[in-house]
Amino acid sequence: MEQIKKALNESAVARWGIMLLVSFTMAANYYFYDALSPLKELMTELLGFTSSDYGFFVAAYSVPNVFLAMAVIGGIILDKIGIRITGFVFILFMVLGGCVTAYGSSDYFNAGGIGYHFMNSFAMGYSPALKVMTLGFFIFGLGAETSIVVISKIIVKWFKGKELALALGLNLAIARLGMAAALIVSPLLEGLTWPIWLGTILLIIGLLAFLVYMIFDVKIDRQLKRVKSVEEVEEEAFKFSDIGKLLTNPSFIYITLLCVTFYSAVFPFVKYAPDMMVNKFGVSREASGFITSLLPFATMIFTPLFGWFCDKRGKSASLMIYGSLLLIMVHLMFAFTTITPYIPMFILGIGFSLVPAAMWPSVAKIVDEPKIGTAYGLMFSIQNIGLWAFPMLIGMVLDYYNPNTITDLKPKEFTSIINNDYHYQANYTDRGGTYIPDQEMRVAVTIIADSLEGKVVWNESHNVKTNDKGVYNLNITKGGKAFYVDFTTLNFTQDTFYVEVKDIKKDSEIILKDRYVLDSDNYIIESVYKSSFGDLVSDKEIKLELTFFDNEHDKNPVIREIIKTKTDTEGKYSMDLSAGKISFADGNFFNWTEDNFYVEVKTPLNYTNAMIMLAFLGVLGLLFAFLLRRTDKTSGYGLELPNKQ
């Protein structure tokens, strides 16, 4: 017994240090999984993804765990050959999946790079980008779920009989810090590829962190094996009959069904939540990610707190009931109210803390430790049925109940809009064609070159409101916020303009006035940046407002945009036109012709039916939580008792 006391897991510093180390790997996993959640709208704009395409891409994560049972197989492998080899191999799969996903989204690949033509040679209904990114997310999912099983077993190995629920709660809190970071950081990065590559880099660092853990795992295994008899080791060996025993255990069945229904109502929701914020509440892409990040931030606070409560006071089965009730309430709030989204998102964070904090330590009470890998793997595989099905179902529900979202205006119609000073009027209706009055919404407008490629030359958004008859009005190229303009496609009515550049960080001080001649091969403005004393300023990030005027005297603005740039070592900076956000544009200066362009006007998606579907999942989860608590009274597992007891 003396040797056990000297084992590494008896040291509080050692076991909490291990928890932090492996939790980083899990946080990298969570970051990558949600790196594209705030960018669904951008995937539509840049890659042409529909809601169904997006759901298909997200669902690919769960395919290996549903149809190949990889989480179960991974759990069995874990129990058979141990933590080290299993963890390394499956985390490596995560890294490979990240690289493939990033490549599929890259400009290089989509411009005809390696593999593009092959991916375009089959399943023509799906774009090459969708196929490669889906393959990458498939490979990532192949490793991600089993890696979570591995890390969960590591926590149980080091904390069972000690602060197990608190450790699992903190592990989840740190992991969800990765989720929160993805929701906040991804919209701030340029395009789609950079957010994915950042996630991939974090996965690589997570793999290195696991290699460090392997050193400690070797040491603790040597310590613990000294105090185990041969009979004990043989008794702990995995048997395939263990799976049958698990599947006939009512408590395990109920907690697994709660797991699949509860997580299916949360994780797929997070994948669509930023897009719902944009569509229902009209917030920016950046703000949508921040609002959704309240969910993981709340779990970071409450999951360890509820874990500590389970360790000290118990009531795990009851906490799962309360968490399911909060889940139902939140989805119904999103479905039927327009209350500020900050409130339901924070409440969901509390619900999403209650259930996991109570559920995962409860599994360690129901299942013996040598079989815990198999049990977690089986739960994760069943859970992935929901994570596979519901992202696709949500996408299909959105497409089905939003058939009038996109209105294509053919060239002749666009010409009539031009002749009407770019004024556009339309009705906003539901699927049955009924007008929706007094609806505030964000409408996206895209002007596309009428070619086989459908090249986007203009992309902007407008905040509008329907009148009492469901009619809304907007002025295309005026009064909206343009996110992308392709200057090379526009035919300006004149080639000479006058440029004025203001430094926003210096109270809009004018730092450049110049005559500018449009060059079809070079839409760049270059100058030098000086301090108030006239000295050149090097290596400085600056935020500038660039305005084009049609002449030097009357100063009628043609285009105004905000551009972020940086000076070089000699104080020089350059501004690529259309590299920033256009805050004003006068369409009268562009040669739109009915033979060259058409317009796509997109009204917001209605998420009501999708939220009702997720609320129903919460109702099923509540039923299973009640059954679990009732069964626990006769099973003797003591789910309502303190974990330490």
Amino acid at 580: G
Q: Average per-residue pLDDT in the chain? A: 84
Question: Do 37 and 169 lie in a common domain?
Answer: yes
Give the mean pLDDT of 310-326.
90
> Which CATH number is 209's domain given?
1.20.1250.20
Rounded Cα–Cα distance for residues 395 and 414 (Å): 30
Burial class (CB in 10 A: 0-12, 13-18, 19+), 90: buried
Give domain status of residue 147, yes or no: yes
pLDDT given at position 441: 78
DSSP run (H or E) holding 298: helix 285-312
Which is more confident, 157 or 3?
157
**Within-domain flag for 588:** no
Q: Which domain holds residue 518?
A: 496-577
Across the range 194-220, mean pLDDT stands at: 92
Percentage of the chain exceeding pLDDT 70 = 92
CA angle 125-128-131, nearest 5°? Answer: 85
Q: Evaluate whether residue 584 is within a structural domain.
A: no
Q: Half-sphere exposure of 269 toward its Cβ, with a 13 Å CA cutoff?
A: 32
Band (11; pLDDT cuts 50, 70, 90): confident
Tokens of 123: 């399943």
> Do 331 and 375 share a domain, yes or no?
yes
User: Which distant-in-sequence residues (6+ apart) come within 8 Å of 95 by Cβ?
Assistant: 200, 203, 204, 207
Give the bridge partners for 547, in sequence order. Answer: 500, 560
Q: How far apart are the first and last CA of the chain?
A: 21
Predicted confidence at residue 229, as pLDDT, reads 45
Confidence of residue 2 (pLDDT cuts 50, 70, 90): very low
φ, ψ dihedrals at 128, nearest 5°: -55, -40
Q: Is the same domain home to 288 and 418?
A: no
Q: Say which residue, 603 or 30, is predicted with more confidence.
A: 30
Residue 457 CB coordination number (10 Å): 20
Residue type, 466: T
Q: pTM score, two decimals?
A: 0.66
Q: How far apart are CA 295 and CA 299, in angstroms?
A: 6
Looking up tokens 């007094």 gives: 438
For residues 394 and 416, state if they share a domain: no
Looking at the fold, whether 425 and 554 belong to one and the same domain comes out as: no
Q: Are 395 and 50 in contact (CB under 8 A)?
A: yes
Of 182, 358, 338, nearest to 267 (Cα)? 182
Same domain, 39 and 142: yes
In a domain, 571, yes or no: yes
- Residue among 487, 475, 481 nearest 460 (CA): 481
- Shared-domain flag, residues 344 and 453: no
* Within a domain: 585: no
Q: Are residues 163 and 278 in the same domain?
A: yes
Quick check: is 475 in a domain? yes
Domain identity same for 121 and 92:
yes
For residue 232, the model assigns a pLDDT of 45
Residues 496, 540 contacting (CB under 8 angstroms): no
Residues 6+ apart with CB under 8 A from 564: 541, 542, 543, 544, 580
pLDDT tens-place string over residues 377-408: 788 888 889 888 998 899 889 888 877 677 77
* Of the candidates 34, 569, 496, 103, the residue with the CA atom closest to the CA atom of residue 271: 34
Regarding whether 451 and 500 lie in a shared domain, the answer is: no
636 pLDDT higher than 60: yes
Domain match, 573 and 612 both: no
Residue 410 lies in a domain: yes
In a domain, 43, yes or no: yes
204: how many CB neighbours lie within 10 A of its CB?
A: 16
43-52, 134-143, 417-426: which range is least confident on average?
43-52
For residue 350, the model assigns a pLDDT of 95
The enclosing H or E element of 235 equals: helix 230-236
- Return the minimum-mean-pLDDT range out of 18-32, 241-255, 323-337: 241-255
Count of structural domains within the chain: 3
pLDDT for residue 266 is more than 90: yes
- Compute the distance between CA of residue 506 and CA of residue 512 in angstroms, rounded to an integer: 13
The tens digit of pLDDT for each residue in 544-570 reads 888 888 877 777 788 888 888 889 988
Between CA 393 and CA 269 the distance in angstroms is: 11
Instruction: Assess whether 193 and 340 both reside in one domain.
Output: yes
